Amino acid sequence: ETVINRIAAGEVVERPASAVKELVENALDAGAGRVDVACADGGKTLIRVTDDGHGIGAADLPMALARHATSKIDGSDLLNIRSFGFRGEALASLAAVGRLTLTSRRGEDAARIAAAGGEIGAVRPAALACGTVVELRDLFYATPARLKFLRSDRAEAQAITDVVKRLAMAEPFVSFTLRDLTGGGEGRVVFRADAETGDLFDALHGRLAHVLGVEFAENALRIDAEREGLRLTGYAALPTYSRGSAVAQYFFVNGRPVRDKLLIGALRGAYADFLSRDRHPAAVLFIHCDPHRVDVNVHPAKAEVRFREPGVARGLVVSALRHALAEAGH
Ligand code: ADP
Ligand code: MG
């Protein structure tokens, strides 16, 4: 039985933002301290992710583009996943639906491989100081039906910004930039956050200010609670800092950004007495637990999780936030 058979095949790349997510996660998995993202036309014509991570050796470049090739797990313990990636599908999928060049350096060795519409070219020598650059042009040119379903450049660019901010929140010790290169030239800096320092709470607080604004950070309640082996940390806003939409809700489970109904419901529940139905609490919450108590393998996009004891997760979030709100006079 292979890893391939145990992982349900699924759609990895739905839109430019999903490509950005996969590429930035790869950079983080490679131990990058700096991740630079550049896009043009909502990512439809160009996505480029540059990192200073450990890189890929020339001999391993073809493998990186092969389907179901991952260097990250051996399949013996699918539940115990500590990296973002583990399916080995992302680069292969991107190479199939766009024009991709992967340039990387490991040690003295810098090389490049190009692929378009699933045709993979030869490995050639390249010049690169360190890390990896993945450039993806003309996403979905090979699948026009998919192209038709993309939204406006503006909407796709917004989705990319959201993805970068979520991953930036997950990794406050890494510096991030997001540039919009539409129209050529140096482009416009859309988002920038330098690497934070200090302990995790300091770093997260600094990152919060960059992502959600200084005012939010200064008025956020610190959350640090534990229940039956599940630890909850992060920051939650006073009800007065609620938003008209759920954009300022960030959840991470074992470091992975998730969008999970149970957690969203728990957050809403904690604020139920203070907010009307059309207001959404703002919070950045990290749950840490033994990897065997949560399944992150529910969906290929890896945004969903399934807790072994959903009641414990929900109870932890509701009680910790209610407690913090009560302490703050609510
Ligand atoms: P996965 O992340 O699930 O392993 P991907 O298709 O995203 O699969 O990547 C395939 C492989 O290519 C990774 O396992 C890794 O070895 C290598 N790789 C991809 N991106 C990078 C990067 N930015 N730096 C170093 N290695 C990378
Ligand atoms: Mg990956």
Specify the pLDDT at position 256.
Answer: 87
Q: Which atom of ligand 1 is nearest to the CA of 131?
A: 24
Specify the pLDDT at position 242.
Answer: 85
Is residue 118 predicted with pLDDT exceeding 80? yes
Minimal-distance CA residue to ligand 1 atom 17: 64
Q: CB within 5 A of ion ligand 2: which residues?
A: 26, 85, 90
Q: Which atom of ligand 1 is nearest to the CA of 132?
A: 23
Rounded Cα distance, 115 and 123, in Å: 10
**How do residues 68-107 score in pLDDT, each as one tens digit?**
767 776 555 554 556 777 667 899 999 988 999 999 999 9
Q: Which atom of ligand 1 is nearest to the CA of 102?
A: 20
> What is the CB < 6 Å shell around ligand 1?
22, 26-27, 30, 51, 53-56, 64, 70-72, 85-92, 132
**How do residues 19-37 score in pLDDT, each as one tens digit?**
999 999 999 999 999 999 9
If you average pLDDT over residues 303-326, what whole number do you get? 94
Ligand number with the minimum distance to the CA of 87: 1
User: What pTM does this model have?
Assistant: 0.91
- CATH entry 3.30.565.10 includes domain 3-193: yes
Of the candidate CATH numbers 3.50.7.10, 3.50.50.60, 3.40.50.11890, 3.30.230.10, the domain formed by 214-327 belongs to: 3.30.230.10
Closest to 103 in 3D by CA, of 126, 69, 85, 86: 126
Minimal-distance CA residue to ligand 1 atom 2: 85
Question: Mean pLDDT for the chain?
Answer: 89
Specify the pLDDT at position 3.
Answer: 35
The fraction of the chain above a pLDDT of 90, given in percent, is: 68
- Residue 325 buriedness (CB in 10 A; 0-12 / 13-18 / 19+): buried
Minimal-distance CA residue to ligand 1 atom 25: 55
Q: Cβ–Cβ contacts within 10 Å for residue 40, how many?
A: 20
Rounded Cα distance, 330 and 325, in Å: 5
Rounded Cα distance, 144 and 261, in Å: 33
Q: Which atom of ligand 1 is nearest to the CA of 88?
A: 8
Q: Domain-by-domain residue ranges, the chain?
A: 3-193, 214-327
Provide the CA 81 distance to its chain's centre, in angstroms. 15
Minimal-distance CA residue to ligand 1 atom 8: 88
Q: What band does 1 get if pLDDT is binned at 50, 70 and 90? A: very low
Specify the pLDDT at position 2.
Answer: 31
- Residue 137 buriedness (CB in 10 A; 0-12 / 13-18 / 19+): middle
Ligand 2 center–CA 318 separation, angstroms? 33
SS3 string, the chain, reads: CCHHHHCCCCCCCCCHHHHHHHHHHHHHHCCCCEEEEEEEHHHCCEEEEEECCCCCCHHHHHHHHCCCCCCCCCCCCCCCCCCCCCCCCHHHHHHHHCEEEEEEEECCEEEEEEEECCEECCCEECCCCCCEEEEEECCCCCCHHHHHCCCCHHHHHHHHHHHHHHHHHHCCCCEEEEEECCCCCCCEEEEEECCCCCCHHHHHHHHHHHHHCHHHHHCEEEEEEEECCEEEEEEEECHHHCECCHHHEEEEECCEEECCHHHHHHHHHHHCCCCCCCCECCEEEEEECCHHHEECCCCCCCCCCEECCHHHHHHHHHHHHHHHHHHCCC
Minimal-distance CA residue to ligand 1 atom 10: 64
* Interstrand relation of 109-116 and 46-51 (parallel, antiparallel or unpaired): unpaired
Specify the pLDDT at position 89.
Answer: 84
Higher pLDDT, residue 327 or 74: 327
Is residue 14 predicted with pLDDT exceeding 70? yes
Specify the pLDDT at position 229.
Answer: 93
Specify the pLDDT at position 121.
Answer: 96
Q: What band does 109 get if pLDDT is binned at 50, 70 and 90? A: confident
If you average pLDDT over residues 245-273, what whole number do you get? 91
**How do residues 168-227 score in pLDDT, each as one tens digit?**
999 999 999 999 999 988 899 999 999 999 999 999 999 999 999 998 898 899 999 999
Q: Which atom of ligand 1 is nearest to the CA of 87?
A: 3
Minimal-distance CA residue to ligand 1 atom 23: 27
Which of 2-6, 159-163, 182-186 is least confident?
Answer: 2-6
If you average pLDDT over residues 151-158, what whole number do you get? 97
Specify the pLDDT at position 156.
Answer: 97
Specify the pLDDT at position 297.
Answer: 66
